[in-house]
Amino acid sequence: MSEEVNPTPDTTPIYGASERYEQTAPEEPARLGPLSRLSGTLFSPGETFADVNRKPTWIAPMIIAILTVVASTVFFQWRVHPDWDSIMRTQIKKRLERSNQSLTEEQMQQQVNFAKNIAKFSPIIGTVFTLVIYVVLAGVFALGLIFIQAKTTFKKILSVVTWTRASIGVVEAIVTMASLMVRDEAELRSIDPTQPAGIVPSNLAAFLPSTSSAVLKSLAGSIDIFTIWSLILLSIGFAIIAGSRKITAGKTAKVVFGFWLVYVLGKLGFAAAFG
């Protein structure tokens, strides 16, 4: 007499589902390659994110994003040749003035040397930061999609985040490099690497005078063309992978822009407290 065996179905974690969702249908293959997805995210997001919904991937866009960060950092160092000694001294003096503290010349030089050593590892720091921030962003948006009862997976959410940020990052890097190439030596020497929002005139901070308050600079820097473009693409992508026709891009936009607004308010509070 043979025993009846009930096979355990393959399951995938679903966000916002009221009960366990069994994924019995085979996964469809991707119809777009990495380069097609990279360009398609910018120019045909509907088709591209539909392909992401069929076959989510995040390793390829993560690699593209990291290479973009490293290339941009190396290019900036080569083109601008920032005087880190002077830059760090200025930043430390501003911090000391706000806290009514003082340092001896030896203590000042020690802090400057430490900061300069950290700056040397900026490509590595950028790589680690990119990995961490994309996963954190996907986690935050997953919570928001749970709230609106989306039925999707973390892998799909991470895929939308990484493809969006990778594609926007490439465009932003190209624009930044082009902007630096057309500037003369005097303009390049005046660039402050600690104020990246003012390097490319894609946000309102680039048009503010240097004497503007830290809070105003923070707010103006948040109103950025590339940031708004990213938020719109994320809203479109999340609507497509949401797993419900009731969840429109308008609903996901409320989640995306809502989290962005919280982030901006946090930046303003930090700028008000620490300058």
Q: Give me the pLDDT at residue 229, please.
A: 97
Q: Give me the pLDDT at residue 6, please.
A: 47
Q: Residue 108 and residue 114: Cα distance in Å, rounded?
A: 10
Q: What is the CB-side half-sphere exposure of residue 275 using CA atoms within 13 A?
A: 12
32: three-class secondary structure by DSSP: coil
List helix spans (H) across 56-153: 59-80, 84-99, 105-120, 122-147
Query: By the 8 A CB rule, do 155 and 50 touch?
Result: no
The alpha carbons of the chain give a radius of gyration, in whole angstroms, of: 23
Q: Residue 255 and residue 147: Cα distance in Å, rounded?
A: 9
Query: By the 8 A CB rule, do 161 and 52 touch?
Result: no
* 7 backbone φψ class: left, alpha, beta (φ>0; ψ -120 to 50): beta
- Amino acid occupying residue 105: E
- Give ∠ CA 37-236-224 in degrees, rounded to 5: 90
Q: Give me the pLDDT at residue 12, please.
A: 45
35 C-beta neighbours (distance < 10 Å), count: 10
Percent composition of the chain: helix, strand, coil (DSSP 3-state, to 5): 70, 0, 30
In sequence order, what are the beta bridge partners of 203?
Answer: 224
pLDDT in tens, the chain (275 residues): 444 444 444 444 554 443 343 344 456 777 899 999 999 999 999 999 999 999 999 999 999 999 999 999 889 888 888 877 787 887 777 777 777 777 777 878 888 888 777 877 777 888 888 999 999 999 999 999 999 999 999 999 999 999 999 999 999 999 999 989 988 888 888 787 777 766 788 888 878 877 788 888 888 888 999 999 999 999 999 999 999 989 999 999 999 999 999 999 999 998 888 76
Q: Residue 240 and residue 234: Cα distance in Å, rounded?
A: 10
Burial class (CB in 10 A: 0-12, 13-18, 19+), 99: exposed
Q: Give me the pLDDT at residue 230, please.
A: 97
Q: Residue 254 and residue 272: Cα distance in Å, rounded?
A: 27
Please state the pTM of the whole predicted model: 0.82
